[in-house]
Structure 1
Amino acid sequence: MTANQHNSNTYTFQSPFGKILAFRENGILKAKNIRYAYSERFKKPIAVEPSDSEIIFPEKTPVCPQNISPLLEKMIGKTNLDGFEVDESPQYISIFRPQNFTENEKLSVIVWIHGGSYEIGCGDLSTADPTDWVKEQNIIIVTVSYRLGIFGFLGGTEKRPANLGLFDLIEALKWIKNNIAAFGGDPKNITLFGQSSGGDAIAHLMISDGTQGLFKRVIIHSAPLGLRKNRQKMAAEFLNNTKMFEDTSDVLEIIENYKNFVPSFFKYGLKAAMPFGTQYGFPPLCYENEVEEKWKQIAKNIDVLIGLNDEETSFYLKASETLSKYIPKKILNKAIRVTTEIIYGKPAKDFAENYAEAGGNVFLFRIHPRLKAMNHFLGAHAIDLPFIFGNESAWKNAGILKNIPWKYIEENGKKLRKLWTEFAINGSISDTSERPEILEVSKV
């Protein structure tokens, strides 16, 4: 591994992929927005070929075309759109590495796969900036962007294949495996970490064709595994409703109009809350009835840390002013408990128990902030992210953190990052390791 100093603020990494420029910021080196693949609309990704010339990143962060979510802006904070560039081929990764580094040291690698219902987000959001984690724990974190929504997770015909976003992620993982040693990372110790649909994607990457040997461990936060079954009819209807969108259609027209064709909640129940997703029976996935067996088959090869927040669905239910206004608190709280268990809790527990039964090394966790002064957004979906990533300035206006002192997040977050790093390094969490007060975790 060699890193040549350009000037005091930049480095060049010599990798098999080419010479990659990185910036030095806040005690870390960040090589941002490296294109790992490119794609045409509704086509599989093609890996980018190595280059002799220096690879310089785009000025603005590329992001898949998407609609801004008012709920997300209320709960997590406004996105400053000036720093982003809409790109239908958003296959980029960013690499964060400690600045101080011993030659030949091999650091554990964590690959962050963002959530957002397979519909919104990107790898490089300030709310998931891993700088604090990288500095504290001396690891490498790679963030990944991939196709979303209609462009990545709705298909089923020759013209519009399913699971294109999964294919993007597989290309990213191949790139990381082949190149991360040049950044001081250990290609034999890669952990995938994802939240929400990012966690769901990871559960499916574990059993996707072509991922064998690309990673060793997974950390799955708040994956909506309770919504993964019996989606075929809904996906087929949604695909049929949007068949007028072709590879020549205007991208803005697609983004503005696809919402009019989302399958009905009354017809498909809770599943319709997440209309995009991975699709069974299409490459790189098996048929739905084979999934559990596939997870059992790989159980001895991949370590798993899986879990959820205490009241996940309060993110959606209590944030709705209409529901809060007209439904008594007691009934709303019961609805939150029931839906949290259906979508997140029971599926995570079942997954962990089946995996352990098949000989897998698996830990199950639950995060529940217990601050007495906290308001009713207790344990909501995404409450884990500020604890994991820190970065106070990005989270200061988040609705889910209302009344939670940052000191409480920082103290618990440091301990949580340390534990998750311990798992990423050696696949276990010792009984003697200090636990943050917000966490329950145990080996299954």
Structure 2
Amino acid sequence: MSSADHAPPTWRTPAGVIVGRRDGRVVRATGIRYARAARFERPVPEPGSPTPIDATEPGPACPQARSPLLEGLLANPLGDLPHDEDCLRLSVTAPAGAQPGDRLPVIFWIHGGAYIWGAGDAPVFDPVALVGEQRVIVVNVTYRLGIFGYLRTRLSPANLGLLDQLEALRWVKENIHGFGGDPDNITASGQSAGADAVAHLMIADGAEGLFRRAVLASPPFGVLPNRTRMTAAMAKAADRIPADLDAADLVAAQRRVHASVQRFGLKAAMAFGVQYAHDPLPHERDRDEAWRAVARRVDVLLGWTAREGSLFTVEALARLTRTPALGPLTQRAAVEWVSRVIYSAPGRAFGVRHRAAGGRGYRYVLDFGGPGNPYRAAHMIDGALMFWRPDVWADSPLLAGLSRQQIDEAGHHLRAIWGDFARTGTVAPVHRAGIIRLDPL
């Protein structure tokens, strides 16, 4: 190994000279600032730096409450990330040896978490396996969450988190060539709330030309319609919050705002989110036509798991499932209902509309899990496969009953589908069987 092999990797970009680190078969540039924003204000793009940018530490997470559900499924989902309102950072993971001019496909990843949890640099979203196997570049983005980014109040405009994501996409479009990426081949991707964000970036003002493909994994389209009354109630509750609270107290206030709208049922499961008729989104009545208008410009890979609802119903119905006669039937019915109403039925409608408008792409169902595992094929199991790291995911109840070989094979299969789609917008026939039922839209 030459002395150059021991030197930290550097990339010359319009943003400045970025200094990262080597990590086995990948190189990483982490915690790069793409914009700045004061509390409740729009993001301002970060100017180019005249001095080298140290990109060797992960970016912070937006302040957020703990998630008992996720902590029951993952020992430490956020790792050791600090929480900071100054969180507009992104991280680039590239194959070792990638050079400017390679024009590798780029996958821009938006994490899920109901718009109130998560961070781009959380260990559960580490793209090392995807990058190493598929020779793609992955960009993980951190954006404002909850009351910091997704609620219009007397102090704050709507959709700040979505505006953050737009700025991050612009940064990638301008700078990714320096990492060996192709700025004309960017796939915006996300799971759950992240998929919802990608779908709305498709129709966001100012997003045209920033990406050519979209991966929508488990988008919760069933909770999108007719949210005006709920968001108005949340805004009314939030308007009583003092503007100068510290971040931790604001997170506590966010929980109270969320609790105030539980009467709205399923919609309240993702109470924070995008708001129509506020920059950069159209009015809700114009939303479907906007998706039709962009269908020919954006290829779509759209799908869900076979038992999405099991993630949310196992604990909630634990007592009933111990009742020999009633329990299993109730559990099965609840899983099927949640899966259909929130995910599969509105997902199919999205795909049908996209195809009818001239769009291309695929629809899939992921059916994977251990025999007898109540979380089999649950919402989020695709994350375990896509971002597989044994030290993070191996002990998750989502994967109970599976061997390491089964997880490795399923993960490789799913990552190959994403890699194919990011490269060409198509998926090789060899990858269209097995744990994923995948068909053209």
Q: Does the Cα contact within 8 Å between 1:374 and 1:404 map onto a contact in 2? A: no
Structure 1 residue 266: Cα displacement: 5.9
- Which ranges of structure 1 fall in alignment gaps of 5 or more residues? none
Structure 1 residue 125: Cα displacement: 1.4
Structure 1 residue 139: Cα displacement: 0.8
Counterparts of 1:168 and 1:104, CA distance in 2: 28
Aligned to 1:207, what secondary structure does the other structure show?
coil
- 2:90 matched residue in structure 1: 93
Normalised by the length of structure 2, the TM-score is: 0.95
Equivalences for residues 289-438 of structure 1 within 5 A? 289-320=285-316, 321-322=318-319, 324-325=321-322, 328-369=327-368, 371=370, 373-430=371-428, 432-435=429-432, 437-438=434-435
**Identity across the alignment (%):** 36
Q: How many residues align?
A: 437
- 2:181 matched residue in structure 1: 185
- 1:206 matched residue in structure 2: 202
Residues 97, 262 of structure 1: alpha-carbon distance in 2 compared, 3 angstrom cutoff? same
- The aligned amino acid for 2:128 is T
What is the CA deviation profile of residues 236-266 of structure 1, one whole-angstrom value per residue up to 9, with x for unaligned ones? 1111112133441121111123212325566
The answer to whether 1:120 aligns with 2:117 is yes
What is the CA deviation profile of residues 349-402 of structure 1, one whole-angstrom value per residue up to 9, with x for unaligned ones? 00000110000002111000165x341211111011111122111102212112
Equivalences for residues 162-241 of structure 1 within 5 A? 162-241=158-237
Aligned to 2:430, what secondary structure does the other structure show?
coil
Counterparts of 2:255 and 2:303, CA distance in 1: 31
Aligned to 2:20, what secondary structure does the other structure show?
strand
What is the CA deviation profile of residues 279-298 of structure 1, one whole-angstrom value per residue up to 9, with x for unaligned ones? 01111001111010000001
What is the CA deviation profile of residues 403-425 of structure 1, one whole-angstrom value per residue up to 9, with x for unaligned ones? 22221111011121112111111
- 1:147 matched residue in structure 2: 144
Equivalences for residues 20-169 of structure 1 within 5 A? 20-57=18-55, 59=57, 61-79=59-77, 83-101=80-98, 104-157=101-154, 159-169=155-165
Q: Does the Cα contact within 8 Å between 2:169 and 2:210 map onto a contact in 1? A: yes
Residues 44, 214 of structure 1: alpha-carbon distance in 2 compared, 3 angstrom cutoff? same
- The aligned amino acid for 2:356 is E
Q: Does the Cα contact within 8 Å between 2:92 and 2:140 map onto a contact in 1? A: yes
Aligned to 1:84, what secondary structure does the other structure show?
coil
Greater shift, 48-57 or 238-247, is seen at: 238-247
Q: Does the Cα contact within 8 Å between 1:412 and 1:436 map onto a contact in 2? A: no
Q: Does the Cα contact within 8 Å between 1:119 and 1:148 map onto a contact in 2? A: yes
- The aligned amino acid for 2:216 is I
Counterparts of 2:373 and 2:423, CA distance in 1: 36
Aligned to 2:264, what secondary structure does the other structure show?
helix
What is the CA deviation profile of residues 118-149 of structure 1, one whole-angstrom value per residue up to 9, with x for unaligned ones? 00000011111111111111110100000000
Counterparts of 2:221 and 2:84, CA distance in 1: 29
Residues 32, 233 of structure 1: alpha-carbon distance in 2 compared, 3 angstrom cutoff? same
Counterparts of 2:261 and 2:335, CA distance in 1: 17
Structure 1 residue 58: Cα displacement: 6.9
Q: Does the Cα contact within 8 Å between 2:296 and 2:360 map onto a contact in 1? A: yes
Q: Does the Cα contact within 8 Å between 1:6 and 1:12 map onto a contact in 2? A: no
